[in-house]
Amino acid sequence: MPLKFRQVIFDLDGTITRSAPGICASAAYAVSKMGFPALSDDKLLEFVGPPLRDSFTRLCGMNDEESVRATALFRERHAVIGWKEASVYPGIYELIYSLRREGALITLASSKSKGLCVKTLEYFGLLPFFDEVVAPNENNAHIVTKRELITSALKTDKADACMVGDRRFDIEGARQAGVYSIAAGYGYGSAEELTSCGPDAIARDPADLRTLLLGNAPRMPGFFITLEGSDGCGKTTQSRLLKTYLETLGLDVVATREPGGCPISERIRGVLLDVSSMGMTDECEALLFAAARQQHIHDTILPALEQGKIVLCDRFADSSIAYQGYGRGLGDWVRQINERALQKCTPQLTVVFDISPDEALKRRLGEQAADRIELSREALQRRVYEAFIALCESGEKRYKRLDATGSPEQIFEDLRQTTVRLLTSPTGEVE
């Protein structure tokens, strides 16, 4: 189906992001610092969308000088924490991804400062999809009305463009600019506000908006991401952080693990980890891992990917190659027995958290001294570490080696950026 509109112009707050928590908290902070009476939650919600100075004047009765000071106070808090107290509406990331893939021009027209708009789109992994961000800054501070922003954002003929926004300012600005308007009924404008300003169409939710813009065009595919590394590398913590982040993008995430991830595979995991299984041969262990993996792929991973979900897996086949193939000395036989289990199910991204065996041992033991068992186990861990590094240096693009010696926050920022590069890559591979 050809695109109905060659260009789609988006508002930000209430259209792409559910930004009310940070905006309301920052507005309340500014009102309090100015010494004005506290506003109700309903009144604070009215700060979402319109220019800040207008809102402080209208809702608080501030004069021009006071509204300027209040706006500065608002930005004081919002620039530090408020802008992150947001999330992308479920379905919007997928919509923008699909619009881009279908060849649409995508621009942003927002009354927020340009720096904050760019920072927000970057953090939520959307900036690479946008051709331009139009918003007030030091170079175009005179552009303040929505009509002016939309007109400046136009890259096509007016008849080939539409504006999507959730407030009357967006709809009225689109009409004044001569472009088609779609009201985001899921945002912060009331039904009465939106119907009274006469949009060309109203999208009740992001799914409705997708139908209006894309019809039955193909959807965003699923993505398979695996997290690997030696014991003590911190990958389980980072997996939880990444799942939370991807959910703030409005994406459907399946977090799973190996061995395990489905009922049958979890039962095999029990056998593998049970102390009563002492004496199990290395070959038996490798075969059980492969068996659990095949069922996991069949029951959990493939169905989720077919539904366009993001699958995050804590360990996968590379762990078998590192632990049983290299660590246990079983060699290429491990790779061979996993070929049938994998069913050509290969991750698009495998993140290997790089931390030396010595540093990992310190993490596991804390202040305790290593005993004989730990030291003998460390020989295995060193072989495993060397195996993971060899995989990273194999030339296969899906492997990304991340330094795991920093703070959890530093490590996660590297992981976040790596994941965003995958999601926004035109080739479906990490660039």
Question: In this structure, are 207 and 105 located in the same domain?
Answer: yes
pLDDT-derived band at 277 (thresholds 50, 70, 90) equals confident
Higher pLDDT, 412 or 113: 412
Distance CA 38, CA 353 (A): 48
Q: Model confidence over 283-313: pLDDT tens digits? A: 999 999 999 999 999 999 999 999 999 999 9
Question: In this structure, are 117 and 209 located in the same domain?
Answer: yes
Token digits for 180?
Answer: 């088609």
371 has a pLDDT exceeding 50: no
CATH label of the domain that carries residue 168? 3.40.50.1000
Whether residue 428 lies inside any domain: the answer is no
Q: Model confidence over 17-66: pLDDT tens digits? A: 999 999 999 999 999 999 999 999 999 988 886 778 999 999 999 999 99
CA dihedral 206→209→213→218, nearest 10 degrees, is: 40
Whether residue 2 lies inside any domain: the answer is no
Question: In this structure, are 355 and 233 located in the same domain?
Answer: yes
Question: In this structure, are 258 and 297 located in the same domain?
Answer: yes
Which among 162, 188, 214 is the end of a domain? 214
Question: In this structure, are 209 and 242 located in the same domain?
Answer: no
Three-state DSSP class for residue 290: helix
Token digits for 220?
Answer: 């965003």
What does pTM read for this prediction? 0.89
Question: In this structure, are 121 and 239 located in the same domain?
Answer: no
Question: In this structure, are 300 and 258 located in the same domain?
Answer: yes
69-90 average pLDDT score: 94
Whether residue 122 lies inside any domain: the answer is yes
- Contact predicate 139/157, CB 8 Å: no
Question: In this structure, are 152 and 168 located in the same domain?
Answer: yes
Whether residue 155 lies inside any domain: the answer is yes
Distance CA 384, CA 233 (A): 12
Whether residue 108 lies inside any domain: the answer is yes
* Nearby residues of 314 by Cβ (< 8 Å), 6 or more positions away: 227, 235, 236, 239, 255, 256, 257, 258
Cα radius of gyration rounded to whole Å, the chain: 26
370 has a pLDDT exceeding 60: no
113 has a pLDDT exceeding 90: no
CATH label of the domain that carries residue 48? 1.10.150.240
Question: In this structure, are 121 and 230 located in the same domain?
Answer: no
CATH label of the domain that carries residue 242? 3.40.50.300
Quick one: which of 233, 209, 242 has its CA closest to 423?
242
Which among 69, 84, 99 is the end of a domain? 84
How many domains are there within the chain?
A: 3
139 has a pLDDT exceeding 80: no
Q: Model confidence over 226-274: pLDDT tens digits? A: 999 988 888 999 999 999 999 999 999 999 999 999 999 999 999 998 8
Quick one: which of 419, 411, 430, 418 has its CA closest to 237?
411
Whether residue 188 lies inside any domain: the answer is yes
- Contact predicate 403/414, CB 8 Å: yes
pLDDT-derived band at 372 (thresholds 50, 70, 90) equals very low
- For helices 372-392 and 357-365, the axis angle rounded to 10 degrees is 130
Three-state DSSP class for residue 183: strand
Question: In this structure, are 106 and 187 located in the same domain?
Answer: yes
- Segment (H or E) for 113: none
How high is the pLDDT of residue 374?
A: 44
Tell me the CA end-to-end span of the chain in Å, nearest whole number.
29
Q: Model confidence over 319-338: pLDDT tens digits? A: 999 999 999 999 999 999 99
Distance CA 12, CA 78 (A): 15
Distance CA 192, CA 197 (A): 9
Tell me which DSSP letter residue 39 carries. P
pLDDT-derived band at 143 (thresholds 50, 70, 90) equals low
Which residue is associated with the tokens 């389980």? 236
Which among 84, 100, 117 is the end of a domain? 84
How high is the pLDDT of residue 287?
A: 96
Domain membership of residue 52 as a residue range: 20-84
Question: In this structure, are 75 and 111 located in the same domain?
Answer: no
How high is the pLDDT of residue 37?
A: 95
Whether residue 381 lies inside any domain: the answer is yes
Question: In this structure, are 134 and 280 located in the same domain?
Answer: no
Bridge partners (DSSP) of residue 203 are 184
Whether residue 429 lies inside any domain: the answer is no
pLDDT-derived band at 369 (thresholds 50, 70, 90) equals low
* Nearby residues of 369 by Cβ (< 8 Å), 6 or more positions away: none
- Contact predicate 378/230, CB 8 Å: no
- For helices 20-34 and 64-78, the axis angle rounded to 10 degrees is 130
